[in-house]
């Protein structure tokens, strides 16, 4: 009963936040609205008994990545007149919904074929740090290392792109 209520609450918050991200004109409002979505997604992960992902979603996504995005938005000091003029915004939004709706209907028809898992009780230690860590460092070790190389490449790329300071002549 409690999980159903929490699921509905988190779903409403997640979808409202995502809609706000698409509808708000200023990116700062959109970022705040997206933050609501991320935190309610963390709640959904907790309801799915993914304890490690719940913590990492809150710390890394809602904490680090979103504060980075908000930091850059504030760094550029965006005023109302800097924003692109989007007069036909709602027209484009309605067009986008019309284009995307068949895909969504198709996918929702696909998921009807999956079995429900109401009766499944999670095994001992499902989604905890130790179990996920064992899996990560045993079977997914190579991909974990590849991700570290990806992060290094993106770090170097960001420094090369944004960090060059041209000497004034």
Partner 1 sequence: MIQSYLTVSILLFCIGIVGVISRRNVFTVFMSIELMLNAANLAFVTFARLHQTMDGHVLALIVMAVAAAEAGLALAVVILLHKHKGQLDTNVFSLLKG
Rg, C-alpha atoms of the chain: 21
Angle formed by the axes of helices 129-138 and 141-162, to 10°? 90
78 interacts with partner 1 by CB under 8 A: yes
Binding test (CB under 8 A) with partner 1, winner from 6, 36, 52, 58? 52
Total number of residues that touch partner 1 (CB under 8 A):
84
Which residues does 39 contact at the CB level (< 8 Å), separation at least 6? 13, 58, 62
CB of 147 to partner 1, least distance (A): 5
x/- track of binding to partner 1 for residues 132-161 (CB under 8 A): x--xx--xx--xx--x--xx-xxx-xx--x
Q: What span, in angstroms and rounded, lies between the C-alpha atoms of 68 and 164?
A: 20
Binding test (CB under 8 A) with partner 1, winner from 142, 162, 167, 168? 162
117 interacts with partner 1 by CB under 8 A: yes
């Amino acid at each position: 009963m409690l999980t159903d209520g929490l699921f509905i609450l988190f779903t409403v918050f997640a979808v409202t936040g995502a809609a706000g991200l698409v509808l708000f004109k200023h990116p700062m409002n959109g970022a705040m609205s997206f933050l609501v979505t991320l935190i309610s997604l963390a709640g959904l992960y907790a309801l799915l008994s993914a304890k490690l992902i719940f913590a990492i979603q809150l710390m890394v996504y809602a904490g680090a990545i979103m504060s980075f995005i908000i930091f850059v938005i504030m760094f550029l000091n965006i005023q109302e007149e800097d924003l692109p003029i989007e007069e036909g915004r709602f027209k484009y939004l309605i067009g986008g919904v019309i284009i995307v709706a068949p895909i969504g209907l198709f996918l929702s028809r696909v998921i009807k074929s999956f079995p429900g898992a109401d009766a499944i009780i999670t095994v001992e230690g499902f989604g905890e740090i130790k179990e996920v860590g064992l899996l990560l460092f045993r079977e997914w070790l190579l991909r974990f290392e590849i991700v570290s190389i990806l992060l290094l490449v993106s770090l170097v790329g960001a420094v090369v792109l944004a960090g060059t300071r041209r000497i004034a002549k």
